[in-house]
């Protein structure tokens, strides 16, 4: 769905509602064909604000476009601030050690994308990147739960198995693009590998002494492949189809399909429609849709209205009765109003609107249910982007 960068924290497992990262060649400035070299700098700030959680992302990107190559370097920083509020003790004095607490974390990342012309109709594309820190608030919340168990119970039971996490990750991808109808249609295929070290979840053994937290896998390897097809359908229509298969450690392969359509309704009006879905055994399914309408005045001021919807079936990973840290089924809605100004070399865009998340009730009760984590929230989503070509 590509709400804003910070919105990926709502449900990392959903893949952000979109597939992969944009091809740098797709967004090349029109002026690039007339100049030997063009440079572009971009600043972007995005945020999601709820009553108990604040998520922000800031990035800076430098991009250079030549006749036969294109590359972009991006640096970003994210902040997670939240009021951690566990459920009250339920059924066991063990959980009495849990308490409300303010929690924060910072994460950093870099990305490099490139495109190189191999022949008149063939291009080589590639990307690489790395990050450090918690990339989404759900993992930080769950880690705080297990950390408080360790701190509160270790004086009585000794070390109970919690491991201080050090989340980080890196990825690399490569592919080839064929412009089989130059300016009208292309096909692109890519392969990607990602390694993530995550904060592990734990199985909680409440029935034996001493109490033990048994960590799950904290090293994830993901191999994925993506096929992209784009076609210009007449003078007013442009369609993009994307298919992806991803295989992650300890999970079944996830299959994702996404289609988008741009329609020039008239000289001043443009509509964009997006539909997508994903499935993963044994029981995860998701789908999303987005629609935006934009009106421009003399190709300088642009006003847009955006609507997005996402839904999935959730994933339950019940280890022991009353302990379930997997997210239940989720629905999200967003409506946003956008304003963009486009100058000859400088552009600015503001997007703002409400964002709503709704979880179905969790299956377990008490502190092991994580009902405060998976509760309905009303967010304010904001994104501000500035770019300059030089």
What does the pLDDT read at residue 157?
A: 67
Identify the structural domains of the chain with CATH numbers, from first to last: 5-389 (2.40.160)
pTM over 0.95: no
* Alpha helices for the chain (secondary structure H): 137-157
DSSP for 233-249 reads: ETTTEEEEEEEEEEEET
> Residue 41 contacts by C-beta under 8 Å, 6 or more apart in sequence?
60, 61, 62, 63, 387, 388, 390
Tokens 């993963």 sit on residue? 280
The H or E element that residue 330 is part of is: strand 330-342
Q: Within the chain, which residues score under 70 in pLDDT?
A: 1-35, 88-95, 157-159, 205-211, 316-324, 362-369
Residues with Cβ within 8 Å of residue 39, at least 6 apart in sequence? 62, 63, 64, 65, 389, 390
* CA 263/CA 165 separation, integer angstroms: 47
Q: What pLDDT sits at residue 298?
A: 84
| DSSP 8-class letter at 85 | -
Task: Give the Cα separation of 233 and 259 in Å (integer).
Answer: 14
pLDDT in tens, 14-67: 333 444 333 434 444 444 444 589 999 999 999 999 999 999 999 999 999 998
The DSSP bridge pattern shows strands 284-297 and 301-312 to be antiparallel
The answer to whether 246 touches 221, Cβ cutoff 8 Å, is no
Q: Coil, strand or helix: which one is 165?
A: coil
The H or E element spanning position 284 is: strand 284-297
Sign of the C-alpha dihedral, residues 137, 143, 144, 145? positive
pLDDT digits (tens, 9 = 90+) for 257-278: 999 999 999 989 999 999 999 9
Separation of alpha carbons 78 and 54, rounded Å: 11
What pLDDT is stored for residue 32 in this prediction?
43
pLDDT of residue 13: 29
């Amino acid at each position: 769905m590509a709400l804003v960068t910070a919105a990926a924290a709502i449900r990392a497992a959903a893949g952000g509602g979109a597939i992969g990262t944009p091809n740098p060649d797709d967004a090349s400035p029109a002026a690039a064909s007339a100049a030997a070299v063009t440079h572009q700098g971009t600043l972007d700030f995005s945020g999601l604000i709820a009553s108990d959680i604040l998520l922000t992302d800031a990035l800076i990107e430098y991009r250079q476009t030549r006749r036969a190559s294109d590359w972009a370097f991006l640096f970003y920083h994210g902040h997670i601030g939240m009021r951690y509020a566990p459920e009250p003790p339920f059924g066991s004095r063990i959980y009495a050690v849990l308490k409300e607490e303010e929690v924060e974390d910072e994460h950093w990342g870099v990305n490099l994308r490139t495109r190189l012309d191999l022949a008149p109709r063939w291009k080589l594309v590639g990307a690489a990147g790395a990050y450090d820190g918690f990339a989404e608030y759900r993992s930080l919340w769950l880690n705080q739960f297990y950390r408080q168990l360790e701190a509160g119970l270790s004086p009585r039971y000794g070390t109970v198995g919690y491991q201080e996490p050090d989340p980080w990750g890196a990825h690399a991808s490569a592919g080839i693009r064929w412009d089989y109808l130059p300016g009208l249609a292309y096909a692109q295929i890519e392969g990607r590998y990602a390694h993530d070290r995550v904060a592990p979840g734990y199985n909680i053994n409440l029935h034996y002494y001493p109490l033990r937290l048994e960590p799950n896998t904290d090293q994830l390897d993901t191999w994925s492949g993506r096929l992209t097809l784009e076609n210009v359908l007449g003078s007013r229509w442009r369609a993009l189809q994307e298919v992806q298969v991803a295989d992650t450690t300890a999970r079944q392969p996830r299959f994702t399909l996404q289609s988008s359509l741009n329609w020039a309704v008239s000289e001043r009006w443009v509509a964009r429609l997006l539909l997508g879905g994903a499935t993963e055994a044994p029981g995860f399914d998701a789908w999303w849709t987005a629609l935006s309408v934009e009106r421009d005045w003399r190709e300088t001021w642009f006003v847009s209205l955006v609507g997005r919807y996402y839904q999935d079936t959730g994933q339950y990973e019940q280890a022991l009765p009353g302990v379930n840290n997997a997210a239940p089924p989720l629905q999200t809605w967003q409506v946003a109003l956008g304003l963009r100004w486009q100058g000859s070399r400088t552009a600015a865009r503001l997007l703002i609107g409400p964002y709503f998340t709704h979880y179905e009730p969790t299956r377990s009760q008490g502190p092991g249910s994580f009902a405060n984590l998976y509760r309905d929230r009303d967010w304010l989503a904001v994104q501000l982007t500035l770019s300059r070509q030089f």
